[in-house]
Chain A
Amino acid sequence: MKRIVGFALNYYKIILLLAILAVSSSVTQDPLQNIKNMIMIQAPFVMIYSFGMTLAVITGGLDLSLGSIAAFSTCAAAFLIIKDQIFIGIAACLLIGAGLGLLNGLLITKAKVNPFIATYGMDWVIRGAVYIMMGGAMIYHFSSDFKIIADGSFLGISNLVYIALAILAILMFVFQKTVFGRNVYSTGANIKVSRLTGVNTDLVIVVVYMISGVLASTSGLLYVARLDCAEAFLGKNFGLQALAATLIGGTSLQGGKGGVGNTVIGVLIMVFLMNCLNVLKVSTLWQDAVFGLVIVVSALLEMAKQRYANYLQL
């Protein structure tokens, strides 16, 4: 019994994911096609901006401005891309993402604003700026050279998957294997000790928010390429979705723990759960409630895992 409970607690995320897959597969016509769709088209977007959130959470903060950064940077870049300045447009988009992340980082480290307040406030400010910039208009009909980024595929696998995996690999390497990554974790675990050990904690935090900004604009760009439309409303719920995926994945808000690897599972659980609720024809009114429940329950399971780790010999 002890071993079964221990196993279940240790691998509850995988078990949860498999359970969701089993339920959705049992009601869909073509389960494999359904899973493929989710992984190819839905998951990569969510994953990329959720990585940004995860990194911010590891430093002990969070980034609620992901969605508006995505909207602002892509809308601004869309003016260039629509004139076939694709590379300059993409570069501008990523630069704007980094710049807005820099602003977040400076607010948090230099002005010492709480990360929640800083990024939540910035979210409104940036979103307001996009509305003003776009004035209710949309930019669409991009050239196919641009759209192929999201629409194209290689060896039957969507480009989106390659891009997400490449980003995952880079982040895993940087955050697990480099001195910078180590400093991010140590800053999150205890900023005071890290500073007193000579780590430039301000720089570490600023760079993480810049990376987070770049990831937000990357996923925004992919959305625009996919939907063939840049609009001011893009990414309205990026921030909270990313936070949910991060938490479900098991990265703790305390900071210094977890990682982008965890978030991959968190995103898959989230994406397949939404898909499952859709195919089960659960009313949208109930979907939010179920979704929230999963967040709370996974937090409880994570707590149980820590509390009984000794007893269950995990």
Chain B
Amino acid sequence: MLVSARHAGLEFRGIRILTDTILEIRNICKSFSGVPVLEDINMSIKKGEVHVIVGENGAGKSTLMKIISGVYRKDKGELFFEGEPVQINNVQKALNVGIGIIHQEFNLLPHRTIGQNIFLGREPIKSNFLKIIDHDLICKKSKELLDYLELDIDPRTLVYNLGIAQQQMVEVAKALCFKSKVLIMDEPTATLTRKETVKLFEIIKKLRSEGVSIIYISHRLEEIKQIADTLTVLRDGRVVGDLSIENASIDQIIRMMVGREIKDQYERQYHLHGEEVLRTENLGAKRFSNVNISLHRGEIVGLSGLVGAGRTEIAKTIFGEDAIEKGSVYIYGKKYQRMSTQKATRLRIGLVPEDRKEEGAIMEMPIRHNIVHAVLPRLFKSAVISRKTELSVAKKYMEELGIRAPSVNKLVKLLSGGNQQKVVIAKWVCADCEILIFDEPTRGIDVGAKAEIYGIMSELVERGKAILMISSDLPELIGMCDRIYTIKDGMVTAEFSRTEATQEKILAACV
């Protein structure tokens, strides 16, 4: 009792009573070129709590976090840290006050060691005169931090060699090294597997028990129940509600986020499948071997597995981006031992890659160019582009897929994540692909757009297309797929039909 009383919260009949407020946000407003993004945000973060913030993309979560961590300046409003008003004008100031942030995209230098990354910009020095960096001290201190995070890696390892989860832990170590009292985590589990997520949650709980407050942003509503103490829902730049986690249901949270009911997200009708369009025979390449999978018209087939199990590599090999080393691919019954992306697109295969910004759409080009990109050679057989045809085709598919933008000339980078993803899908729908490979199609996309993408996928298979879907989101995979293959260390470990598949069975086959 005494021990925990010294920390922030008191354990009282199993319920944490949170005592004092560490960060108070009052009437924060922010607008970008006249468009209000945040309006009158009030929130208080208590000491030693995990405060989850949810909201659709564009609700203002990231903007708010960037204001708290000093990346953006607020237009109006006040911040109080431990009861004192503070002006946070830049990132350095935020760090000095005790607010650390782990961004969705990591800020690590790949070719430096873990220790060098943790102490980047504030390396301990041996003597004041020569400013020689004390590498031994860096090593020792980093080791302590890594031990605390229960990470058994040499701090002299290059970040380049680390997995995503380990990199995330290095970011956490970096924040801890600053003695942050408030730690902001922006979608920390987006790239983590189940096991790694559990690990991260343990660390979060450990930090919480020591009085560190965590502001946690997530799209994965299932996790929230496990980790949150309090919950704030943002919608269109306003706080829609504060909930304590005991009396919030997931349905209720979704309702608050989108402001409307979302019925069954996964609306699928199941028919008898058509002919086989894709089969791999003992397919092997860099990260996987002996893969035998098949795909029929009118069917969604899922690939489940941990990040790094080889799912994306299988997809990229079928699509011809990576070279086939062993075995072969049968497309519409014809055997191929060499593939290329040109051949794949000619065979009407389309790939919606996991990284839509780098691999999916050309961000710096208008929607129009992206939509017709794959169909260009077929649409304009004479090789001369007719602007009129291009416009009408692009408009047609923009409407068909429900891409929300003022015009087809808008640059893709200016769209929200969900709409960008729809542009990538539109490109392949426009090219009339028979076989579509979706790699993590809903990662980082808000609830509303997710449902729309599920709708598009269902409609495509209704029309007799075949879909191969890779996802780390098990409920989504089970909800959408006819069959699911599980992949572990580059091998297919099991196959489940829609009726057999449960989260437990799939997980057991993946780990």
Decide: B373 and A186 in contact? CB cutoff 8 A: yes
Please, which residues of chain A bring their CB within 8 A of the CB of B341? 195-198
Distance between Cα atoms of A257 and B383 in the complex (Å): 21
Please, which residues of chain B bring their CB within 8 A of the CB of A310? 33
Nearest B residue (CB) for A187: B362
Q: A177-B384, A180-B383 are in contact. Are A198 and B362 (CB under 8 A)?
A: no
Distance between Cα atoms of A193 and B355 in the complex (Å): 10
**A191-206 interface code vs B (CB 8 A; 1 in, 0 out):** 0111111111000000
Decide: B369 and A182 in contact? CB cutoff 8 A: yes
Please, which residues of chain A bring their CB within 8 A of the CB of B151? none
Q: A193-B361, A311-B33 are in contact. Are A179 and B376 (CB under 8 A)?
A: yes
Whether, in the assembled complex, B351 has its beta carbon less than 8 Å from a beta carbon of chain A, the answer is yes
Distance between Cα atoms of A72 and B412 in the complex (Å): 44
Q: Is the interface on chain B under 10, 10 to 19, 20 to 34, or 35 or more residues?
A: 20 to 34
Please, which residues of chain A bring their CB within 8 A of the CB of B344? 198
Distance between Cα atoms of A198 and B383 in the complex (Å): 16
Decide: A177 and B385 in contact? CB cutoff 8 A: yes
8 A Cβ contacts from B350-374 to A: 351, 353, 358-365, 369, 373-374
Distance between Cα atoms of A311 and B34 in the complex (Å): 10
Decide: B342 and A256 in contact? CB cutoff 8 A: no
Distance between Cα atoms of A267 and B395 in the complex (Å): 38
Nearest B residue (CB) for A256: B364
Whether, in the assembled complex, A178 has its beta carbon less than 8 Å from a beta carbon of chain B, the answer is yes
Decide: A189 and B364 in contact? CB cutoff 8 A: yes
Q: A178-B385, A186-B373 are in contact. Are A195 and B321 (CB under 8 A)?
A: yes
Q: A177-B384, A178-B384 are in contact. Are A198 and B342 (CB under 8 A)?
A: yes
Distance between Cα atoms of A299 and B442 in the complex (Å): 39
Q: How far is the CB of A173 from chain B (nearest CB, A)?
A: 8
Decide: B353 and A196 in contact? CB cutoff 8 A: yes
Distance between Cα atoms of A186 and B371 in the complex (Å): 12
Please, which residues of chain B bring their CB within 8 A of the CB of A189? 362, 364-365
Nearest B residue (CB) for A313: B33
Decide: B359 and A179 in contact? CB cutoff 8 A: no
Q: How far is the CB of B67 from chain A (nearest CB, A)?
A: 20
Decide: B385 and A179 in contact? CB cutoff 8 A: yes
| Contact with A182, one of B319, B351, B360, B376 (Cβ below 8 angstroms) | B376
Decide: A179 and B380 in contact? CB cutoff 8 A: yes
Distance between Cα atoms of A179 and B379 in the complex (Å): 10
8 A Cβ contacts from A156-200 to B: 177-180, 182-183, 185-186, 189-190, 192-200
Decide: A186 and B365 in contact? CB cutoff 8 A: yes
Identify which of A179, A196, A198, A256 gathers the most chain B CB atoms within 10 Å of its CB: A198
A-B contact count (CB 8 A): 66
Q: How far is the CB of A251 from chain B (nearest CB, A)?
A: 14
**B304-320 interface code vs A (CB 8 A; 1 in, 0 out):** 00000000000000010
**B200-233 interface code vs A (CB 8 A; 1 in, 0 out):** 0000000000000000000000000000000000
Q: How far is the CB of A197 from chain B (nearest CB, A)?
A: 5
Nearest A residue (CB) for B427: A197
Decide: B374 and A197 in contact? CB cutoff 8 A: yes
Whether, in the assembled complex, B377 has its beta carbon less than 8 Å from a beta carbon of chain A, the answer is yes
Please, which residues of chain A bring their CB within 8 A of the CB of B326? none
Distance between Cα atoms of A196 and B316 in the complex (Å): 9
8 A Cβ contacts from A197-230 to B: 197-200
Q: How far is the CB of A198 from chain B (nearest CB, A)?
A: 3
Nearest B residue (CB) for A201: B341
| Contact with B385, one of A182, A186, A198 (Cβ below 8 angstroms) | A182
Please, which residues of chain B bring their CB within 8 A of the CB of A179? 376-377, 380, 383-385
Decide: A192 and B342 in contact? CB cutoff 8 A: no
| Contact with B319, one of A180, A194, A196 (Cβ below 8 angstroms) | A196
Nearest B residue (CB) for A198: B345
Distance between Cα atoms of A189 and B342 in the complex (Å): 19
Identify which of B342, B344, B361, B377 gathers the most chain A CB atoms within 10 Å of its CB: B342
Please, which residues of chain A bring their CB within 8 A of the CB of B345? 197-198
Distance between Cα atoms of A257 and B374 in the complex (Å): 20
Nearest A residue (CB) for B365: A189
Please, which residues of chain B bring their CB within 8 A of the CB of A192? 358-359
Distance between Cα atoms of A197 and B362 in the complex (Å): 11
Nearest A residue (CB) for B347: A198
Nearest B residue (CB) for A183: B376
Nearest B residue (CB) for A193: B362
Please, which residues of chain B bring their CB within 8 A of the CB of A183? 376
Distance between Cα atoms of A198 and B372 in the complex (Å): 12
Decide: A190 and B363 in contact? CB cutoff 8 A: yes
Whether, in the assembled complex, B199 has its beta carbon less than 8 Å from a beta carbon of chain A, the answer is no
Decide: B342 and A200 in contact? CB cutoff 8 A: yes
Distance between Cα atoms of A183 and B384 in the complex (Å): 12
Whether, in the assembled complex, B268 has its beta carbon less than 8 Å from a beta carbon of chain A, the answer is no
Distance between Cα atoms of A311 and B383 in the complex (Å): 39
Distance between Cα atoms of A192 and B321 in the complex (Å): 10
Please, which residues of chain A bring their CB within 8 A of the CB of B369? 182, 186
Distance between Cα atoms of A195 and B320 in the complex (Å): 10
Nearest B residue (CB) for A310: B33
Whether, in the assembled complex, B346 has its beta carbon less than 8 Å from a beta carbon of chain A, the answer is yes
Distance between Cα atoms of A256 and B427 in the complex (Å): 19
Distance between Cα atoms of A196 and B364 in the complex (Å): 17
**B285-324 interface code vs A (CB 8 A; 1 in, 0 out):** 0000000000000000000000000000000000101000
Decide: B363 and A196 in contact? CB cutoff 8 A: no
Please, which residues of chain B bring their CB within 8 A of the CB of A195? 321, 341
Decide: B362 and A190 in contact? CB cutoff 8 A: yes
Please, which residues of chain A bring their CB within 8 A of the CB of B361? 193
Please, which residues of chain B bring their CB within 8 A of the CB of A182? 369, 376, 385
Q: How far is the CB of A299 from chain B (nearest CB, A)?
A: 18
A to B CB contacts below 8 Å, 22 in the list: A178-B384, A178-B385, A179-B380, A179-B385, A182-B369, A182-B385, A186-B365, A189-B364, A190-B358, A190-B362, A190-B364, A193-B358, A193-B360, A195-B341, A196-B319, A196-B321, A196-B351, A197-B374, A198-B345, A199-B373, A200-B342, A257-B364
- Give the interface of A toward B (CB within 8 A): 177-180, 182-183, 185-186, 189-190, 192-200, 256-257, 310-311
- Give the interface of B toward A (CB within 8 A): 33, 319, 321, 341-342, 344-346, 351, 353, 358-365, 369, 373-374, 376-377, 380, 383-385, 427
Pairs A-B, 7 closest by C-beta atoms: A198-B345, A190-B362, A179-B376, A189-B362, A197-B374, A197-B373, A179-B383
Given contact pairs A197-B341, A310-B33, enumerate 11 new A-B contacts (beta carbons under 8 Å). A178-B383, A178-B384, A178-B385, A179-B385, A182-B376, A186-B373, A189-B364, A189-B365, A192-B359, A196-B360, A198-B374
